[in-house]
Structure 1
Amino acid sequence: MRINHPLVGSMVALITPMLEDGSVDFNALKTLVDFHVDSGTKAIVSMGTTGESATLNHDEHVEVMQKTVEFAQGRIAIIAGTGANSTTEAIELTQAAKDIGADFCLLVTPYYNKPTQEGLYQHYKAIAEAVDIDQILYNVPGRTAVDLSVDTAVRLSTIDNIIGIKDATGDLKVAQALISQCPEGFLLYSGDDATAVEFILMGGHGGISVSANVAPKQVSDAYNAAMNNDRNLAESINEKLSDLHQHLFVESNPIPVKWALHKMGKCESGIRLPLTKLSQQFQIILQQDLSSLGVISK
């Protein structure tokens, strides 16, 4: 069911731009925020997976969120990535996000320690009770080694300030189960670019996209068409993005998307170990995608 909410449509999982020495490039961050405001993106996720949250320390994590809020100046919603595999740390980051003025928080499932479904429920419940800010669940089992079940998501959806879920499984059967079982008004987002348009056409409310870093207007147009139930238009726009959706994952995210944005002149090529710059063999492929989309000159 379509709903009226500020967080409906295309949202970007923003990179954290870095200089060659790996330090955060705040000038480039401001440029990227302005880019998304101008391109019709509905919200920016700061410090998610694509933002290299795993390699920034606590102070850096908070500073990037704070600067993103500052640069946005209320022109675009900011969703702070505040998940952690420690419930205490997740609460601290979520409180920090609230204190700096973030609009919402996105909380990835605790990674590596592989909690049970009851552990996941208690984790999210504890954060929701500790910090009075609207929160979005984030399930990406391909990275975390734990899968938030549909039953647990539905159970969590009854908590007042847990307002939605980002599902990055890419499994449309999971999407259909969430759409059919979650209560009306609970926000359902795709976190998988390749299947996002179909997810929205099925009844989802938008997507949190990696591809939107590179082609924000095209992704926004595709999602808006899907939200309007215009399958032909949505699929036509998305078809032009299909190679980009695939090739931004030829190596671990955000390696390809940071290279693409550097090629577009949006940032330097800095990235932090253990991530490395995009391999030469994939640069040629991705450059062809950027040329065909018209975001770089041929």
Structure 2
Amino acid sequence: MPANKVLRLGATTTALVTPFRDGALDLSALERLAERQIHGGVDGLAVCTLTGEGSTLTRSERAAVILTCVRVAGGRVPVIAATGTNATASTIALTRDAEELGASAALVTLPYYSKPGQEGIVGHFTQLAAATTFPLIVENNPLRTAIDMTSPTLAALADVPSVVGLLLADGSAAARALQPDWRQRLLLLSDRDATALSFLNSGGSGIISAGANVCPRLYASLQQAARGGNLSAARLLEDRLAALTAALGAKGDPAAIKHALQTLLQTDPEVRLPLLALDADEKLSVSQALARASDAREVALSI
């Protein structure tokens, strides 16, 4: 199939949590959260990610989440659907679903658990690209998948017409192997709020942010200030958010984010097993970090 390689994505995309109530999706809460993000100034929504507990969602639930966010976004920001699995066939099926439901691109992890070799990684993505016209963002996170891309593999994927971006974990071999010209051809994204500013300053395009669930305006403003050359303002925002970023966890713990959102918006903090709700000490840590980031009224109403 011909590939559509057009994806306009700004610096801050939120890895949106998936709200539950009594074991089921809470689509009304999802609508409110998605609208709050867009109103807060983020540039995109990433759904069904790890932060969104995507691995716990059924295929029909994934479809409902994507369709709801596409409808709320209404073309104002792109919706990126995480569709990667450890099998090529199921990845193709979920990616086709996302495309048909109106998402703008797919975020596709390297196959986890099965741990393919480098040729298998290339085969996985080339077959996916041949089966869909969708723009693809390749996620490389060795801590999650136990595999890492080598420089030749990265070069091969960069040449796949529908691969538009890379989501790179800190310290991965792929992050160290980037060629200068790829920064012009590909979106280079981070998934760590704690190092987002340094990543952007080193040539990155932006972040898929977990922390933006809680404070969309502040996390988006940090990226906007940095991209505009106002590094002093960006560093001040980074310092202001440091405690909250740490309390939410290196990759954005859904339970911590949902507790913060319960504090601010009275949404249900429910997570699905194998995740558990925060204990009392963890709740206190998140609440104290929220207070450091901003007073509760400002956080709830203006970001």
Amino acid at match of 1:263: T
TM-score, normalising length from structure 2?
Answer: 0.90
1:281 corresponds to: 281
Matched with 1:225 is 225
Do 2:244 and 2:289's aligned partners in 1 also have CA atoms closer than 8 Å?
yes
Q: How many positions carry a matched residue from both structures?
A: 293
CA RMSD, 1 decimal? 2.1
Q: Name the counterpart of 1:11.
A: 13
Distance in 2, matches of 1:192 and 1:250, equals: 6
Aligned to 1:60: 61
Q: Look up the SS of the partner of 2:45 in the other structure.
A: strand
User: 1:174/1:162 Cα in 2 relative to 1: closer, same or farther (>3 Å)?
Assistant: closer
The aligned counterpart of 2:242 is 242
Q: 1:133 to 1:254 in 2, by over 3 A?
A: same
Give the % identical residues: 32
Look up the match of 1:132. Answer: 133
Moved more, 38-47 or 185-194: 185-194
Structure 2 Cα separation of the partners of residues 62 and 165 of structure 1: 24
The question of whether the paired residues in 1 share the 8 Å contact of 2:140 and 2:174 is answered with no
Indicate if the aligned counterparts of 1:14 and 1:45 stay in contact, CA closer than 8 A: yes
1:253 equivalent in structure 2: 253
Change (3 A) 1:175 1:224: farther
Q: Secondary structure at the match of 2:296?
A: coil
**C-alpha displacement of 1:184:** 2.1
Quick check: 1:47–1:61 contact (8 Å CA) kept in 2?
yes
The 10-residue stretch of structure 1 (158-167 or 69-78) with the greater mean CA deviation from structure 2: 69-78
Deviations 1:230-278 (A, max 9, x none): 3222212111111122111179722211211122115211111111101
Partner of 1:142: 143
Q: Tell me: CA distance 1:287–1:230, structure 2 relative to 1, closer, same or farther (3 Å).
A: same
Instruction: Give the drift of 1:173.
Output: 7.9
Task: Name stretches of at least 5 consecutive residues in structure 2 with no aligned partner.
Answer: 1-5, 299-303
Paired with 1:172 and 1:231, the residues of 2 have a C-alpha distance of 26
Q: Measure, in 1, the Cα distance between the counterparts of 2:172 and 2:233.
A: 20
For 1:228 and 1:176, locate their aligned partners in 2 and report how far apart those are by CA, in whole Å.
25
CA pair 114-257 structure 1, distance change in 2 beyond 3 A: same
Letter in 1 for 2:265: G
- Superposed structure 1 runs of 4+ greater than 3 Å apart: 172-177
Which ranges of structure 1 fall in alignment gaps of 5 or more residues?
none
Whether the 8 Å CA contact 1:214–1:260 is kept in 2: the answer is yes
The answer on 1:84 being equivalent to 2:85 is: yes
Contact 2:148 2:172 in 1 (8 A): no
Change in 2 beyond 3 A, CA 1:265/1:192: same
Instruction: Specify the code of the residue in structure 2 equivalent to 1:45.
Output: A
Q: CA deviation at 1:81?
A: 0.9
Secondary structure at 2:24's aligned position in 1? coil
